[in-house]
Amino acid sequence: MAAPLIAVPDDFPSVFEGSAAHEKCKTLGETRVVTARGADEEAELIKRIGRANVAINIRAHAHFTDAVFAACPALKMVSIWGTGVDNFDLTAAGRRGLTICNTPGINAFAVAEHVIALMLAVGRRIPRLDREMREGKWPREQLVQCLGKTLGVFGTGKIGTRVIELGRALGMTVLAFSARGDAARVGSLGAKAASKEEILREADFISLNLRLAPETRGFLSRRDLALVKKSAILVNAGRGALVEREALIDALSTGKLAAAGLDVFHEEPLKADDPLLAMPNVVLSPHNAGQTPEVVRDGLLAAVRNVENYLAGRPTDVVVAPVR
C-alpha cells in the first residue's frame, strides 16, 4: 500500500499539532492537521477530510455521519482519541467498509480522580467557602464527610472500577451497577451489585460512569431523580446526555437533589445564560476530567499506534469493523 494520507480535521483546541504523536504520525504518511474551529460543521469536516485514507478524531464536536462517510470515499479508517463514539454513526461506518478504533482506559485513573475531587468539592463546599473567605467572611457551616456514606457507581468499566477503589479507600460502602449484569465481578471489586433503583434510593453520592449509547441516553429521568435522597449528591463525568437536562435542573433548583458536580453537559461549551451557572449547589468543570499531560501524551500516541497497526494489517482497539 502506498503511503496513506492522514487527516486530523478537528484539533481545536489544539493538542495534537507538534506533539510526539504528530511526529510519529508523519512517519506513517502525509499528515494534515487543522487547528482552527469549524469541524462541527458537516461541510467543513468533509472538506478537511477530503481524500484522506485515515482520519484521527480529536474532538467530539466533529460528527462523523453517514453523509461524511459518503462524501469521503477514500476514508477507510478513523482512530479516535478517547473512548466516546457518540459522535459517530457506527452502523453507517461498518456498512461503508470503515474500521473505527478508539483508545480505551488511558484516561481512566485521571477521570476517576476527578470524580472523587468533585465529590469532595461539592460535599465539603470548597469553591463556595473559598469565595466567601476572599470576600471577608468566615463561614462555619456543617460539611459532608465520605466516611460511612454510601457511594453508588453506575458503570464498572475501567473508570468505574477505579472510582469504586477510591471510594472504598475513603471508607465508603459502594453499590455498583454493571451494565452487563456481572455481579461476580462487582463483588470481586469489593462492592455490592445493586439495581438502578436500589442505588438511587440508598446512595449518598451517585457517580455516572456509563458510556453514552442509545440505551443509556436519558439514563436518569425525572422519575429516576424522584427516587434519590434529598441529601444526595450526583457526580457526572460520563456524558451530559446520560441525564435528562430539564429533570436535572428541576431537581437541583427545587431541592429534590442536594447538589451536583458536573464535568459534562448537554451542550458544550455552556452558554452564558445556562441556569447551571447560577446554581450555588453545583460545582462545574469544563469536560476536562481526563486532561493531564500524561493522559494527553499517552492517548494521542495510542491513537497513532492504532493507525500504525491498521496500516500493518493488524487493527487494534476496534469498535467497528467493515461489514462484509
Catalytic position from the list 23, 30, 268, 294: 268
Strand partners, 175: 152, 192
108-284 CATH pick, 2.120.10.30, 3.40.50.720, 3.20.20.70, 3.40.50.300: 3.40.50.720
Q: Is the peptide bond before 269 cis (omega within 30 degrees of 0)?
A: yes
Please report, for residues 88, 156, 232, 233, 296, the alpha-carbon distance to residue 173 in angstroms, rounded to integers and kept in the order given: 37, 15, 14, 15, 32
Catalytic position from the list 48, 59, 162, 287: 287
Catalytic annotation on 287?
Answer: yes
| Model pLDDT, residue 278 | 97
β-pairing, 150-154 vs 205-208, is parallel
β-pairing, 99-101 vs 318-320, is antiparallel
Catalytic position from the list 48, 114, 239, 244: 239
Q: Where are the alpha helices (DSSP H) in the chain?
A: 20-26, 42-49, 66-71, 90-95, 108-123, 126-134, 158-169, 183-188, 196-202, 222-225, 245-254, 293-311
Asked whether the domain spanning 108-284 has the same topology as the one spanning 5-106+292-320, the reply is yes
DSSP notation for 234-247: EEE-S-GGGB-HHH
- Domains of the chain, residue spans: 5-106+292-320, 108-284
Catalytic annotation on 244?
Answer: no
C-alpha to C-alpha distance for 277 and 121, rounded to whole angstroms:
16
Strand partners, 320: 100
pLDDT, one tens digit for every residue, the chain (324 residues): 578 999 999 999 999 999 999 999 999 999 999 999 999 999 999 999 999 999 999 998 999 999 999 999 999 999 999 988 999 999 999 999 999 999 999 999 999 999 999 999 999 999 999 999 999 999 999 999 999 999 999 999 999 999 999 999 999 999 999 988 889 999 999 999 999 999 999 999 999 999 998 999 999 999 999 999 999 999 999 999 999 999 999 999 999 999 999 999 999 889 999 999 999 999 999 999 999 999 999 999 999 999 999 999 999 999 999 987
Superfamily of domain 5-106+292-320: NAD(P)-binding Rossmann-like Domain (3.40.50.720)
Catalytic annotation on 22?
Answer: no
β-pairing, 192-193 vs 205-208, is unpaired
Q: Is the four-CA dihedral 189, 191, 195, 197 of positive or negative sign?
A: negative
